[in-house]
A and B are shown apart, each in its own frame.
Chain A
Amino acid sequence: MIIKTENNKAWWLVLPVFLLVAFSAVIPLMTVVNYSVQDIFDQNNAYFVGVEWYREVLRDPRLHDSLLRQFIYSFSVLAIEIPLGIGVALMMPTQGRMGSLCLILLAIPLLIPWNVVGTIWQIFGRADIGLFGWALNAMGIDYNYASNTADAWATVLLMDVWHWTSLVALLCYSGLRAIPEAFYQAAEIDRASKWAVFRYIQLPRLKSVLVIGILLRFMDSFMIYTEPFVLTGGGPGNSTTFLSQTLTKMAIGQFDLGPAAAFSLIYFLIVLLVSWLFFTTITYMDKAK
């Protein structure tokens, strides 16, 4: 660990970042706060309404529904992608050409623009022109993600697994590579079973990358917008309409600036709060043991 020296001149080095992020975060955020406490008819007619919008939004069933959907979605994503990602990392070849080939192939989904990810699955899942949808129907399964809620959910989840499990896998893969060979040798001499090796050597050493993986996957799945928008458009009905989509509908579709702004702030706070909860629980569990 590097011993840092006290030096306030270091602020000059941080200043560009500070100004840049302040410009793109603080000013817009102030605008949002400003909207959230006013009723705006046009540029010259705005009235201060206090917490009225917050009260309205918090009572809004649209928010409740999409918030519930959002939590179910994010937790499903974590429940599938984290174990699967660990499994994939364990299966990856440890070295040589095959190792780097796997690395590259795994990274491909991460580098595809999100709407193209949506497009790929939109096509892939269609019963008429998509291999996946066609194959399912050919097997006698009545599958249609555009009209059946369960099918839509399954497809959106499958798409997310396809898109993001690689991130967890790559994180875990590099975590595994950091374990010295001697640990496996010692375990072999101590007659540890495969499960014991995983439980007592690999898993404890994956913890820090898993914390990052869980946080990133939680945050990003909680903010998901583009992929389900392209794939299902939020439907059928509102069944795959998540928070971001509800918000954009409100702000741009209906131009309800006040409620949308209040919604935005509540949304942001929820992400911060849940991320913080995850982080402290994981670090607390670590200390308690």
Chain B
Amino acid sequence: MNMTKRKTFGITLYILFLLVPIYWLVNMSFKTNEEILGSLSLWPSNFTFDNYMVIFTDSTWYSGYINSIIYVSMNVVITLLVALPAAYAFSRYRFVGDKHLFFWLLTNRMAPPAVFLLPFFQLYSSVGLFDTHIAVALAHCLFNVPLAVWILEGFMSGVPREIDETAYIDGYSFPRFFGRIFLPMIRSGIGVTAFFAFMFSWVELLLARTLTSVEAKPIAAIMTRTVGATGVDWGVLAAAGVLTILPGLLVIWFVRNHVAKGFALGRV
């Protein structure tokens, strides 16, 4: 039993290490700037929602959240739409160049986003997509689509081929089979893929910032404007940071039962 106690102690310590910096951010978001800069306190002495009110009442602030959510959702939808048929092809068929194609897709996951900064800017400007949500969504597909194909292929390979054949013998057409039988069977795979697509699109800033200026500017980029002539508005910065953590928490709560399984396939 001593072993179990040591383990509990260790994991508690690690989780504290993860949570204390976040706690500090949350703590700060409920303080006034005077208190933040005045003295160090573990709990806000003048508990205030003012910092949050600044964000919720100013459209340039909250539109940042809306923009982020729009392009992240677009990205998740596009990623799933294109990756599902492709993953099916990779898991079921051999075709000319399949291995090369798969490898080439994966190399895109290894491309440093910084490399693509300038060409992306020029490309999307020249086709008139600069500062649109779709531009960011498409750019994020660069690393999300290869990942999605990889994860989904793993899940699909776990479904026996006999299922497909039985369905065709029973007279199902391909689209009906795919939608009615196959997709429900890999539900958790789709959940896990959507989770990772969401995650990587939500946390990315470099490309999102470069491809937008006003209309589609993500919240993460708007946060930099708390640095003003009078110094940093720490309270609002902290509140904005806390608000960016919430969507992630929500998503992880929904997929909590599937994530372990997704990782288990070793496909992430």
Contact = CB atoms under 8 A, between A and B. Distances in A.
A1 B91 CA distance: 10
Given A14-B85, A91-B10, A247-B114, A4 B202 contact: no
B266 A209 contact: yes
A271 B220 contact: no
B19 interface: yes
Given A267-B112, A268-B111, A21 B11 contact: no
A90 to B, nearest CB: 8
Contact of B248 (A18, A91, A112, A174): A112
A209 B256 CA distance: 19
B20 A131 contact: yes
Given A108-B248, A129-B234, A13 B85 contact: yes
A81 to B, nearest CB: 12
A32 interface: yes
Interface in B239-263: 241, 244-245, 247-249, 251-253, 256-257, 259-263
A105 interface: yes
Interface residues of A, number: 95
Interface in A1-23: 1-11, 13-14, 16-18, 20-21, 23
A145 interface: no
Interface string B110-126: 11111111111011000
Given A20-B138, A162-B18, A174 B261 contact: yes
A175 B264 contact: yes
Nearest to A176: B264
Interface stretch (B21-29, B55-63, B183-191): B21-29
22 contacts: A5-B92, A5-B93, A10-B93, A11-B96, A13-B85, A17-B82, A28-B119, A91-B7, A100-B257, A108-B19, A110-B203, A113-B203, A121-B21, A132-B21, A162-B17, A162-B18, A173-B260, A174-B262, A208-B266, A219-B110, A226-B206, A271-B112
